[in-house]
């Protein structure tokens, strides 16, 4: 359930019909960037520890 929400959130799928304001769209964009940066950082950490 959580992973489905995360994937739908990252793929820009609408879950509910909420009036979208500029501030709300910017907040969602920043959240997507944060999630992607976190995933990239996890991948880098895993790669660095697997090389040693």
Is 3 a domain residue?
no
**46 vs 16, 24, 35, 43, CA distance in Å?**
35, 33, 17, 5
Note down the domain range covering 37. 22-52
User: What local confidence, expressed as pLDDT, does residue 31 receive?
Assistant: 92
Give the total number of structural domains in the chain.
Answer: 1
pTM: 0.58
Is 31 a domain residue?
yes
User: What local confidence, expressed as pLDDT, does residue 10 receive?
Assistant: 72
Is 39 a domain residue?
yes
Is 47 a domain residue?
yes
Is 34 a domain residue?
yes
């Amino acid at each position: 359930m959580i992973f489905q929400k995360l994937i739908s959130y990252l793929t820009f799928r609408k879950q509910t019909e909420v009036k979208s304001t500029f501030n709300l769209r910017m907040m969602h964009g920043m959240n997507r960037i944060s999630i992607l940066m976190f995933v990239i950082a996890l991948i880098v950490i895993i790669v660095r520890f697997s090389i040693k």
